[in-house]
Amino acid sequence: MKGGIIAYYFGKNNRCKCGIEPNLIWHYTGGANHINYFCRCPNCKTRTRDRKQPVGAVSDWKNRIIQNR
C-alpha cells in the first residue's frame, strides 16, 4: 500500500476555511520506514507540508501552516 487516511478528529474549531474537516493522510516515500504525513481538505485540497510524524502534520494544520500549491 502506498498511502491512506488515518482516522483523526480535528474538532469544529480546526476545520478548513471552506468549512470541511480535513483528513490526516500518510504516504510511503520509498526506502525502509520512509512514511510521511500531512493533512488535506477533501474539498478544496488545501494541505500542510509533509512531516515525519502524524502529530507534526496535525500541529501544522491547527497552526495554519499551509503548503503553497
Q: Provide the percentage of residues in the chain whose pLDDT is more than 90.
A: 70
pLDDT band at residue 32 under the 50/70/90 scheme: confident
Give Cβ neighbours of residue 16 (< 8 Å, ≥ 6 apart): 22, 41, 43, 44, 46
Length of the chain: 69
pLDDT(47) > 70: yes
Residue ranges per structural domain of the chain: 3-54
Closest C-alpha among 1, 8, 2 to residue 39: 8
Cell numbers given for 22 = 480535513
pLDDT band at residue 1 under the 50/70/90 scheme: low
Q: What angle do CA 16, 23, 50 make, to 5 degrees?
A: 95
